[in-house]
Amino acid sequence: MDVIDTVAKYLFLSCLDERVSFSASLKVLSELKNSNWMDVRHRPRWIEVLTRWKPRLRGITARNWGDDGTAKGFLYPKSFDLSLWISFQSSGEPSEVEAVLLSKVLGFSDDEIAAGLNITPGTVRYRVGRGLRHLGAYIES
């Protein structure tokens, strides 16, 4: 997965607002480009920058796309449903949600996540495991 896909998916699934995530993606990508961290070998740096931007998402003004029919946005298949993710995100432990998003959705390795979040790989595995158990509970109910 390249940096643009990773940034866009992370920010959208973190704030669940496509206009805010689009605005934030432009800012994050600009920061990564200015730091010369766009290459795949800098994946732990991507995590550092993304997690640093996550608390700022509420303060970002949504990009105005207009209502002229040419508005940009995400196109979802008709069967696409984010309700389980929304439930998991709203009631789950934030560190576990973060770990599941980075590991299972975006495909970062435990070592990359550990380096990016400045924690041990064992802590990453623990958070991912607990997060998946909580997410599984939502799927079963």
pLDDT digits (tens, 9 = 90+) for 82-113: 888 889 999 999 999 999 999 999 999 999 99
* 3 state DSSP class of 60: coil
CATH pick for 80-141 out of 2.20.25.10, 1.10.10.10, 1.10.357.10, 3.40.50.150: 1.10.10.10
pLDDT digits (tens, 9 = 90+) for 5-46: 999 999 999 988 888 888 899 999 999 999 898 888 899 999
* 3 state DSSP class of 5: helix
Q: Is the Cβ–Cβ distance between 92 and 134 less than 8 Å?
A: yes
pLDDT digits (tens, 9 = 90+) for 65-90: 454 444 555 666 777 788 888 899 99
Q: Where are the domains of the chain?
A: 1-64, 80-141
Determine phi and psi for 16, rounding to 5 degrees.
55, 35
Q: What is the CA radius of gyration of the chain?
A: 16
Work out the mean pLDDT of the chain and round it to a whole number.
86
Q: Round to whole Å and give the CA distance between 117 and 101.
A: 13
